[in-house]
Amino acid sequence: MDKKTLDQFRILLEARRNALREALARTEKDGRAPEEDFAAQDIADRAANSSQKELLFAQSRAERQMLNQVESALSRVREGSFGVCITCENDINPKRMEAVPWAVHCVGCQGKIEQGLIEADA
């Protein structure tokens, strides 16, 4: 991958990382909403409140996973291994990198992982 393309991916990934950090901070803040008036809520409110919390928890976990993937993609940019399949070490199709810039497997290896033929060693 040439330096210009790599730079474009780096910029894109950094923007994504910043957006995810903000989203995560917001989700975690919402998940810690004050509970002083908890006793005043009726049962339906409490149920709604706790399922809302579960939702926020699931959301923050998904955001954190995504953030991890984006951050490791950024470190691969720095190490020069960005765009290279970690399993077969072939270049990953540029179209795939555009669609999924944090991809660590080429389409072939990804397919094998999904079929359970090889281990995902990410």
What CA–CA distance (Å, rounded) separates 14 from 7?
Answer: 10
CB 97 within 8 A of CB 103: yes
Instruction: Name residue, tokens 């790599």.
Output: 6
Q: What is the CB-side half-sphere exposure of residue 77 using CA atoms within 13 A?
A: 22
What is the per-residue binding string for Zn ion in 53-92, x denoting contact by CB under 5 A? --------------------------------x-xx----
CB of 5 to Zn ion, least distance (A): 19
Of residues 60 and 69, the one with the C-beta less far from Zn ion: 69
Q: Residue 65 in contact with residue 12, Cβ under 8 Å?
A: no
User: Is residue 55 classed as helix, strand or coil in its secondary structure?
Assistant: helix
> Least distance to Zn ion from the beta carbon of 52, Å?
41
By CB under 5 A, is residue 103 in contact with Zn ion? no
Tell me the number of residues near Zn ion by CB under 5 A: 5
**Contact string (CB under 5 A) for Zn ion, positions 11-50, x = contact:** ----------------------------------------
Measured between alpha carbons, how far is 89 from 76 in angstroms, rounded to an integer?
Answer: 13
Minimum distance of Zn ion from residue 106's CB (angstroms): 4
Which residues would be at the binding site for Zn ion (CB under 5 A)? 85, 87-88, 106, 109
